[in-house]
Amino acid sequence: MKKIVIFGVGLIGGSVALALKKAQPTLGSLSIVGVGRNPASLAQALQLGVIDAGVDSSSAQLKTALADADVILIAAPVAQTAGILASIKPHLNRHTLVTDAGSTKGDVLACALSILAEQAHQFVGGHPIAGAEKSGVGAASADLFVGKNVVLTPTEQTQAETLARATHFWHSCGAKVSHMPAQAHDRIFAAVSHLPHLLAFALVDDIANRANAAELFGFAASGFRDFTRIAGSHPEMWRDISLANKEALLQELTAYQTELALLKTLLENEDGAGLEALFSRASLARNAWSDKKI
């Protein structure tokens, strides 16, 4: 890899750039071009040394920025994917790998197939399972992906060489890579990522809208902090994720409402044994998962 173009130099895009720069001794000469819609963010990325050049996404310089790119990474909110792919298509070289870092994959894959058309085989969907509640290039870290999972979602049309290049790209960032169909990805992450974010946002919004919100926040401690940490995440990004994965997320919300209804019934009936049984099942499952992660 000699030239990488990153659309969206925020937490994820910036961390990819820093990770690749850290790996540069093994990669050889490498130029990283950042493309974005916010000049101030690009200027900050340049100042921090995250990217080597910055280009406004609407400028005439885009063609030059994309020329001879080995990899184009789309690390912008998923709702921007269609517009970015459309801007890429007229200047896309035949050897360039296009991948993304979006948290939903079915919608992104559909965009790639429709917009890139005969060059859609150059696209491999990706999702790094890493992040932080803070956004922006100032929060980027070269080690964000070290030991973390990245899911790639190839299709039947994906060539083995293209998939190998996408895998190598994320391995260079320190990540572990796995493959699965886009639909399976979206179902899984609706349950274990998207739903928890919605719940955290909803709880904080509920507390903040109460008349005694200041008092409630004043007494909130580590339990509240741990549960709601992800409510500090990027609102635009999570708006796009929620809408893009609406069907799977609605199913998960319905399942969670069923569990809440069970809790409410147990409380109403003062069913201590039932509550303890539910809490025990959850505690065992949570601790088993946590032990595997350590």
- CA 287, chain centre distance (Å): 25
Structural domain harbouring 9: 3-180
Q: Collapsing DSSP states into helix, strand and coil, what is residue 212?
A: coil
Which helix (H) or strand (E) segment holds residue 289: the answer is helix 272-293
Q: Are residues 31 and 176 in the same domain?
A: yes
Which residue in 153, 141, 162, 215 sits closest to 182, CA to CA? 153
Spell out a b/e string for 268-294, using b for 16 or more CB atoms within 10 Å of the CB, else e. Answer: eeeeeeeeeeeeeeeeeeeeeeeeeee
Q: Are residues 209 and 160 in the same domain?
A: no
Q: How far apart are CA 176 and CA 170, in angstroms?
A: 8
pLDDT band for 138, please (50, 70, 90 cuts).
confident
Q: Are residues 147 and 255 in the same domain?
A: no
Q: How far apart are CA 153 and CA 180, in angstroms?
A: 5
What average pLDDT score do residues 189-205 get? 97
Q: Are residues 199 and 119 in the same domain?
A: no
Round to the nearest angstrom and report the end-to-end CA distance of the chain.
Answer: 33
Q: Is the pLDDT of residue 294 over 60?
A: no
Quote the Cα angle for 115-193-246, to 5°.
50
Instruction: Quote the pLDDT of residue 37.
Output: 87
Q: Are residues 17 and 157 in the same domain?
A: yes
Q: Are residues 222 and 157 in the same domain?
A: no
Q: Which residues pair with 151 in a beta bridge?
A: 127, 178
Residues of the chain with pLDDT > 70: what percent?
98
**CATH number of the domain to which 147 belongs:** 3.40.50.720
pTM value > 0.85: yes
Sheet holding 149-153, edge to edge: 53-56, 31-36, 3-7, 71-74, 97-100, 123-128, 149-153, 176-179
Last residue within a domain, chosen from 148, 180, 212: 180
Q: Are residues 157 and 224 in the same domain?
A: no
Q: Are residues 223 and 112 in the same domain?
A: no
Last residue within a domain, chosen from 180, 210, 238: 180
Q: Are residues 166 and 55 in the same domain?
A: yes
Q: How far apart are CA 103 and CA 82, in angstroms?
A: 15
Instruction: Quote the pLDDT of residue 289.
Output: 93
Q: How far apart are CA 13 and CA 18, in angstroms?
A: 9
Which residue in 146, 286, 268 sits closest to 227, CA to CA? 286
